[in-house]
Structure 1
Amino acid sequence: MTAHKLETKQNLVNWSEAQDAYAALRETADVVRVEFPFGGEGWMTTTYDMVREMYNDPNYSIEIQSSGREYPRMRYVETDNSRNPSFMQYDGAKHQAKRAVLTKYLTIKRVNALRESTQQIIEETLDELEALGSPVDFTVHFAKRVPLRVLCALLGMPTITDQAFIDACYKIVDSRVENPAELMAAYGIIVPFFNELYEEKSKHPGDDLMSAMIQDKNDGLWSEDELRNLGTTLLLAAHDATGVMLNGQLEWLSHEPELYARLRAEPESFPRAFEELLRLVSVGTSAPRGRVALEDAELGGVAIAAGEAIAGNLLAANTDPAVFPDPMVFDMDRPVTKPHVAFGSGPHACPGMHLARMEITLALQEILRRYETFENVEPHDDWRSRRLCKSAPEVVVAWKRA
């Protein structure tokens, strides 16, 4: 079977081109043979139902990625095994037990308790941004700053201002990095930082997530190394998930003045608009999430051999016309028959989704409250076809206070 070449380099992929490619693959089959960008051949699910089925099937392993075997790679280089392990790399009961320890601190109730402090961070960040005048780049001065500042508060540490550390954060989530030494140098800055934080919180616990996880005996479910890596794991989520989603939604609103005006005039419509934005502007849109089949199986009428790589794609799922008619059209009034999968699906769905939702919601609502107008300084009639899957490198907006 001929493998379709999968051009998904995350930061570099054009949104509409990716959607056209996935639509063409969807016409071929629900599960297709593909050539991954940087890691051989395998399979990819192209429909909503197949993405969810694959992610919820324990036969398709994420843990095997840490074994050194082949799996779908979506970046030029991989890191070595010098980093501390992450609870996310496990499958089955082991993963669920470890995950449960963390998620009990990230429930909706606990996240709602952080709303006041998060709102303060958002307002202070916007105050700083406004001091720069209009227009201003909301990517650099807002979308990249708010998630990091919220994370610092969550972990009970001062706001990070060291530029070398911030640059390292961007480096480890940049799929364009081609030099392994460059990537490892970034981890060489971040990992020791969180090792020191672990030591500090072990000796002097506070009212924060890191201290709570360390003090939670949890029958030894989390190793010391995994606890040391917690900060790095959450940092990746803050930068590569929450920040990307927030930036993409700011980009969208800045190009749609009529939508922006409607949301200001009808604040009760915001929840529907927010879900539609999450569907269209979600993390992982361009990078299929890799798994490896543990046993021979059939998926979508295709035989998947044990050891073969398979990937599910959230953009393909969230723009499947069988579930979302006219999927590329923003329609906040569309009937919802099935939920989008912006935060993934199955046992490895984003454990911090409630926190991410709260952060982005408060950020967008504060912007809508503050600014009468919020317009991109480089509007294009075809801006949607120009946008990148992993959101714009800059969102320069001319704003006017209400």
Structure 2
Amino acid sequence: MPQTSVPDHTGAPGREPADTPTEVHSGRPAEGAGSPPGFPFPNATPWLPPVGFARLREERPLCPVRLPTGSDAVLVTGYADNRALLADERFSRAAAARADAPRARRIPLDPTSLTTLDGPAHARLRSAVARAFTYRRVKALSPEVRCRAARLAGEMAGAGQPADLVADFARPFSLGVIGGLLGVSVTDLPAFRAMTEAYLSVDGHTPEQMMRAVAGLKELLREAVARRRAEPSDDVLGVLAAGRGEAALSDTEIVTFGVTLLVAGYETTAALISNAAVALFTHPEQWAAVRASGGLSARAVEELLRFTAVSVGGGTLRVTVADVDLPGGTVPAGTAVQPATTAANRDPGVFTDPDVLDLERAHNPHLAFGHGVHYCLGANLARVELSAAFGALLNRFPRLGPAEPPERLRWEERKMIRGPLALPVTW
């Protein structure tokens, strides 16, 4: 990859982007353009990374872009660059959570969240909450996850076809699993979804609406934590509330972590299941093999994690606190950096035939769950959910297939997480 020096693009939040047109499909400014291309890029196949990522990996691995707020950032698309920056705390999440920092959303990130802490503060909180996400705990939860998937598949069958795989299965399944793990019962799914829509919105809601959503989600968790303080339990909130010594967390810390986990566990997993279904439906031979085997192998799960694009880029915005040399170039201090792990997962220098969906792929060091100290705590749970979802669906519906072509689907457009708004299926 070419070595480049990246200019310091740290535009203030809320600055209006210039009117100069840009060739956003390729990720390169149009000839004579005076501003960076806008990110996220338009994408005709939202379950896959934008086609422009491939060109950027080769020609401009560290590419200045304009975020929806008007802030400027550098988009990183290569595998080696992404792996390096994800492991290097000079690319600071805490710096990106400052009120005056460049950002993609209209409100600042919560500076007390596990996802925005650095150094000892992050290590302390991570150590405390990791006890609730051990491999043993997730493995013990697997039968319950599979039972939940089977029950929802049965309800779909009872309601008749066509069904909506998003509303009838993916959303209630992912919310039920993460809610059960936390010990939070969400009885009003439409109201909860409205809050998460606003919470995760890039530009579809006002800052006031987004802050009200944050407050509503925190209130839901605050009540649950108060109950755990009074009546101990073995769910995640109960384990955290019972922490002592170095593992002792305040109510505020538990609530903030709970909101992060609840929203991420719901939205991301629902989109993963839906997008994986679209990816399989658009590869008939691979889908036929999955149907014949009655589910997803461990390799197939990893390949779908690599191949599908749940996020428009992948990775959380960071700000450099020092000059940093990456394989693709030098990033100056004070630069906002947007990792694009979905682009990294298609890097031909790491993956053979990266644009091919190969459910038997043996070498698959994908970055779908990140890398380094912020590696996703829920990675093992997400794997279990993806496997359980398709196992239950194919056990109930061996002939499951799309009810309409993918080009007719409507997709989320106001969030960094992308999934179909509806996915009609028949059997």
Do these two structures clear the TM 0.5 threshold for a shared fold by scoring above it?
Answer: yes
Report the equivalent of 1:215.
Answer: 242
Report the equivalent of 2:418.
Answer: 390
Listed as ranges, the matches of 1:179-190 within 5 Å are 179-190=206-217
The 2-side partners of 1:393 and 1:278 are apart by: 20
Decide whether aligned partners of structure 1 residues 251 and 269 sit closer, same or farther in structure 2, where only a CA change above 3 A counts: closer
Partner of 1:355: helix, strand, or coil? helix
Shift of 1:166: 3.2
Shift of 1:54: 0.6
The 1-side partners of 2:316 and 2:169 are apart by: 28
The 2-side partners of 1:305 and 1:101 are apart by: 34
Shift of 1:207: 2.2
Report the equivalent of 2:374.
Answer: 348
Shift of 1:209: 1.1
Instruction: Find the partner of 1:68 among 71, 93, 99.
Output: 99
Partner of 1:105: helix, strand, or coil? helix
Report the equivalent of 1:78.
Answer: 107
The 2-side partners of 1:387 and 1:66 are apart by: 25
Report the equivalent of 1:325.
Answer: 352
Report the equivalent of 2:147.
Answer: 120
Listed as ranges, the matches of 1:259-298 within 5 Å are 259-266=286-293, 270-287=297-314, 289-298=316-325
Listed as ranges, the matches of 1:48-197 within 5 Å are 48-71=79-102, 73-75=103-105, 77-78=106-107, 85-161=112-188, 163-197=190-224
Instruction: Find the partner of 2:73 among 35, 42, 53.
Output: 42
Q: Per-residue displacement from partner, 1:258-288 (whole Å, max 9, x unpaired)?
A: 3232123235872222211111114334355
As a proportion of its length, which structure holds more helix? 1
Report the equivalent of 2:30.
Answer: none
8 Å CA contact 1:62–1:89 kept in 2: the answer is yes
Instruction: Find the partner of 2:53 among 22, 25, 28.
Output: 22
Decide whether aligned partners of structure 1 residues 353 and 220 sit closer, same or farther in structure 2, where only a CA change above 3 A counts: closer
1:164 partner amino acid: A
8 Å CA contact 2:72–2:336 kept in 1: the answer is yes
Report the equivalent of 2:263.
Answer: 236
The 2-side partners of 1:39 and 1:67 are apart by: 16
The 2-side partners of 1:144 and 1:38 are apart by: 28
The 1-side partners of 2:49 and 2:305 are apart by: 17
Report the equivalent of 1:5.
Answer: 37
Instruction: Find the partner of 1:379 among 402, 405, 420.
Output: 405
Report the equivalent of 1:370.
Answer: 396
Partner of 1:114: helix, strand, or coil? helix
Decide whether aligned partners of structure 1 residues 155 and 289 sit closer, same or farther in structure 2, where only a CA change above 3 A counts: closer
Alpha-carbon RMSD: 2.7
Shift of 1:48: 0.5
Decide whether aligned partners of structure 1 residues 137 and 257 sit closer, same or farther in structure 2, where only a CA change above 3 A counts: same
Q: Per-residue displacement from partner, 1:123-143 (whole Å, max 9, x unpaired)?
A: 222222222211110101111
Decide whether aligned partners of structure 1 residues 267 and 127 sit closer, same or farther in structure 2, where only a CA change above 3 A counts: closer
The 2-side partners of 1:278 and 1:16 are apart by: 11
TM-score between both structures, scaled by the size of structure 2: 0.83
2:146 partner amino acid: Q
Task: Extract unaligned runs of 5+ from structure 2.
Answer: 1-6, 8-33
The 1-side partners of 2:62 and 2:41 are apart by: 20
1:132 partner amino acid: A
Report the equivalent of 2:11.
Answer: none
The 1-side partners of 2:327 and 2:41 are apart by: 26
Decide whether aligned partners of structure 1 residues 387 and 227 sit closer, same or farther in structure 2, where only a CA change above 3 A counts: closer
Shift of 1:98: 1.3
8 Å CA contact 2:319–2:337 kept in 1: the answer is yes
The 2-side partners of 1:153 and 1:351 are apart by: 16
Decide whether aligned partners of structure 1 residues 40 and 200 sit closer, same or farther in structure 2, where only a CA change above 3 A counts: same
8 Å CA contact 2:242–2:248 kept in 1: the answer is no
Q: Percent of aligned positions with the same letter in both sequences?
A: 27
8 Å CA contact 1:377–1:397 kept in 2: the answer is yes
Q: Per-residue displacement from partner, 1:342-372 (whole Å, max 9, x unpaired)?
A: 1111111211111111111111111122212
The alignment of Structure 1 onto Structure 2 pairs a total of residues equal to 391
Shift of 1:195: 0.9
Between 193-202 and 386-395, report the one with greater CA deviation: 386-395
The 2-side partners of 1:202 and 1:349 are apart by: 29
2:107 partner amino acid: E
Decide whether aligned partners of structure 1 residues 9 and 393 sit closer, same or farther in structure 2, where only a CA change above 3 A counts: farther
Decide whether aligned partners of structure 1 residues 5 and 318 sit closer, same or farther in structure 2, where only a CA change above 3 A counts: same
2:393 partner amino acid: I
Partner of 1:74: helix, strand, or coil? coil
Decide whether aligned partners of structure 1 residues 204 and 288 sit closer, same or farther in structure 2, where only a CA change above 3 A counts: closer
8 Å CA contact 1:168–1:186 kept in 2: the answer is yes
Decide whether aligned partners of structure 1 residues 352 and 18 sit closer, same or farther in structure 2, where only a CA change above 3 A counts: closer
1:57 partner amino acid: D
Decide whether aligned partners of structure 1 residues 113 and 16 sit closer, same or farther in structure 2, where only a CA change above 3 A counts: closer
Structure number with the bigger relative contact order (C-alpha 8 A, sep ≥ 6) is 1
